[in-house]
Amino acid sequence: MDSALIPEGAKRCSFPKFAIGIVIVGAVLLWGVFAMGLIWWKGLNQTNMNDYYGFALWIWADLAVIAVGGGAFFTGLLRYIFNIDELKNIINFAVIIGFICYSSALLILAIDIGQPLRGWFIFWHANVHSMLTEVAFCLSAYFAVLTIEFIPNILENRQANKVPFFRHLAHNMHGIMAVFAATGAFLSFFHQGSLGGVAGVLFGRPFAYREGLLIWPWTFFLFTWSAAAFGPCFTLLITKITETITGKKLVKDNVVNLLAKISGWMITIYIIAKIIDTIYWATVTAPSLGFNISHFYTNNGFYGYWILITEILVCGLVPGIILIMKSTRENPTLRLIAFILGVIGICLNRWVMVLQVMAVPVMSFDTWALYFPSWQEIATTILPVAYGIILISVTYRYLPVFPQEAELNAVEPAAETE
């Protein structure tokens, strides 16, 4: 039915099967859209946020999707700037995932603010001292870059490619993609960093506050590095999920292992830096402000030391080591476990840097604040997931996302029927 749009030589499931899948995920999406409408119509009283939790689930979701979306800029950097040619086989997908992550982040931001129609004041009345201003500018610019990086892939659709203008455009864009990749990497460096700065500059919040270099707190660098380190884990995890669902091998193991190895080294270096940062913060920064580290991790079951151990050791050091050691990295199960742990770890880090910051009392007579999101917040946070699944399904179906797909599946056309 839609075969004219499907890339040449690619095998796809039947249209009705595809449509049913889309409808199911679409229902979840609509639920999220409904919640979003409620929030825009009635305001943020639809959430469980309060004056202690001004930043909550959404800001975490924002930071998390942007962190895992870091696979796009980092893979782009490796592919176009460091010329690691094998990565051309996964760059399209990395860009699509990045596009999904960043568009989701912008959408969540538009829901999260109390006056969405005035959101543009962040540009119009920009305060150069604010990390959020830096985030807004870089994020928007980088989203534009991602769109530009995405366009050639869209134009490679079988029908679009028939239009000579589009064909030439796609070709020429590929040619200058290094410029965009460089721009993207530069912008990402700043917005990932400034997202880290969002928490790190809060000198009124000793749990978040970090010293740093010039105007940038250490979290600035840690966030950039961690996004670069864990982003590829997410790209590879989504690739693996896509392969499982489609029942096809889409990217060759040598490509996966190469990216996994780079990610492993990045994670390990990051975790060492993170451990040093944590030790310095716990033994120097916080005590200088009158806080023992135990102040931040006791009093309630949820924010216990377990969260620190899980983030740094279980979901940081462990995946890092798995991915740098050849034997474990090339074991598909261990490699998958490492990806999963890595993605949990980075999300947990963003959680801690948003929600635990709000939970910890600062005034000696203040109290811990715990919070559970409302269904509207949950629905709008799941919304981008549904949107991502749909976009990946559509792009996978209609665009030549995986250059190695034809090669890997030509010999075994029966694979799909499994």
Partner 1 sequence: MKVDRRSFLGLGLGAVAGIAVSPVGLKLTDDSSIWTQNWPWTPVPADGEVIYESSVCSLCPGSCGISVRKIENRPVKIEGRENYPVNNGGACLHGIAGLQYLYDPARVKTPLKKNGDKFEEISWDDAIALVAGKLADLRKSGSPEKFAAILDKEQGSVSGLFKRLFKTFGSPNFYTMPSFESYLEATAAAIHGEGKTIGFDLENADFVLSFGAGIIEGWGSPVNCFQANASRKERRAKLYQIEPNLSNTAANADKWVPIKPGTQADLALGICAVILKNNLFDSNATMNFKGGFNKFAAMLQKDYTPSKTAEITGVKAADIEKIAGLFAKAKKPVAVFGKGRGDGAQSLKELAAVHTLNCLVGNINKKGGVFVKSKNKYLEFPDESMDSIADAGFAKPKAGRYMNQLVEKINSSSKSVVEALFVYNANPCYSLHDTKSVKQALGKIPFIVSFSSFLDETAKEADIILPSHTFIERIEDVPSGAGLAKTVVGLTKPVASPVFNTKNPGDTVILIAKALKGSIAQSFEWESYNECLEGVTARIWDSLSEDGYAVISKGAPIEPAAVNLSFLSGNPPTVQAQGDFGLTLIPIDNMRLINAGAYVSPFAIKTVSDKVLKGKNIVVEINPLTAKGLKNGGFAIITTPIGTARVVVNFNEGLMPGVIGMVEGLGHTFENKYVSNKGVNVNDLIGPVIESGSGLDAAFGIKAKISKA
Partner 2 sequence: MKQENNKEHKFGMVIDLDKCTGCGSCMVSCMSENNVPFKEDESNKKDSITWMRVYKLTNGKSFPDTETAYLPRPCMHCAGKGGHGHSPCVSVCPATATEYGHDTGIVSQIYTRCFGCRYCMGACPYHARYFNWWDPKWPEGMENYLSPNVSPRMRGVVEKCSFCYHRYQAARDKAYHEGRNDIEENEFQTACTTACPAGAIVFGDLNNPAHKVHQIVKPDPHPDKWNRHVVGKSRNPKVFRLLERLGTNPKIYYLSEREWIRRKGDNYLDGEWDKIKNHHGSSSHG
- Give the Cα separation of 231 and 225 in Å (integer): 10
Given the complex with partner 2, which of 44 and 87 has the nearer CB atom?
44
Dihedral pair phi/psi, residue 213, rounded to 5°:
-115, 125
What residues from 154 to 173 belong to the interface with partner 1 (CB under 8 A)? 163
213 near partner 2, judged by CB under 8 A: no
115 near partner 1, judged by CB under 8 A: yes
From 198, 266, 346, 348, residue interacting with partner 2 (rule: CB under 8 A): 198
294 near partner 2, judged by CB under 8 A: no
Please identify, among the stretches 118-126, 142-150, 335-343, 394-402, the one whose residues bind partner 1 according to the rule CB under 8 A. 118-126
What are the start-end ranges of the E strands in 137-232? Answer: 212-213, 216-217
411 near partner 1, judged by CB under 8 A: no
- 55 interface partner picked from partner 1, partner 2, none, CB below 5 to 8 A per type: partner 2
- 204 interface partner picked from partner 2, partner 1, none, CB below 5 to 8 A per type: partner 2
Whose CA is closest to 359, among 247, 233, 199, 240? 199
Given the complex with partner 1, which of 119 and 403 has the nearer CB atom?
119
- Give the Cα separation of 180 and 172 in Å (integer): 12
For residue 385, give both structure tokens.
């997931």
Q: Are 71 and 235 in contact (CB under 8 A)?
A: yes
25 near partner 2, judged by CB under 8 A: no
Given the complex with partner 1, which of 17 and 118 has the nearer CB atom?
118
CB neighbours of residue 270 within 10 Å? 25
Q: Binding residues for partner 1, how many (CB under 8 A)?
A: 6
**Closest separation in Å from C-beta 378 to partner 1:** 24
Given the complex with partner 1, which of 157 and 188 has the nearer CB atom?
157
What are the beta bridge partners of residue 216? 213
From 3, 8, 124, 333, residue interacting with partner 2 (rule: CB under 8 A): 124
Whose CA is closest to 87, among 74, 97, 98, 96? 74
309 near partner 1, judged by CB under 8 A: no
Whose CA is closest to 101, among 63, 56, 144? 63
- 37 interface partner picked from partner 1, partner 2, none, CB below 5 to 8 A per type: none
147 near partner 2, judged by CB under 8 A: no
From 51, 413, 414, 418, residue interacting with partner 2 (rule: CB under 8 A): 51
CB neighbours of residue 184 within 10 Å? 28
- Give the Cα separation of 361 and 354 in Å (integer): 14
* Residue 293 DSSP SS3: coil
- Give the Cα separation of 333 and 339 in Å (integer): 10
302 near partner 1, judged by CB under 8 A: no
From 45, 172, 244, 254, residue interacting with partner 2 (rule: CB under 8 A): 45
- Give the Cα separation of 393 and 196 in Å (integer): 32
- Give the Cα separation of 358 and 353 in Å (integer): 9
List residues binding partner 2 (CB under 8 A): 43-45, 49-55, 112-116, 118-119, 121-122, 124-127, 129-133, 135-136, 198, 201-206, 287-292, 295, 357-358, 362-366, 369
List residues binding partner 1 (CB under 8 A): 115, 117-118, 120-121, 163
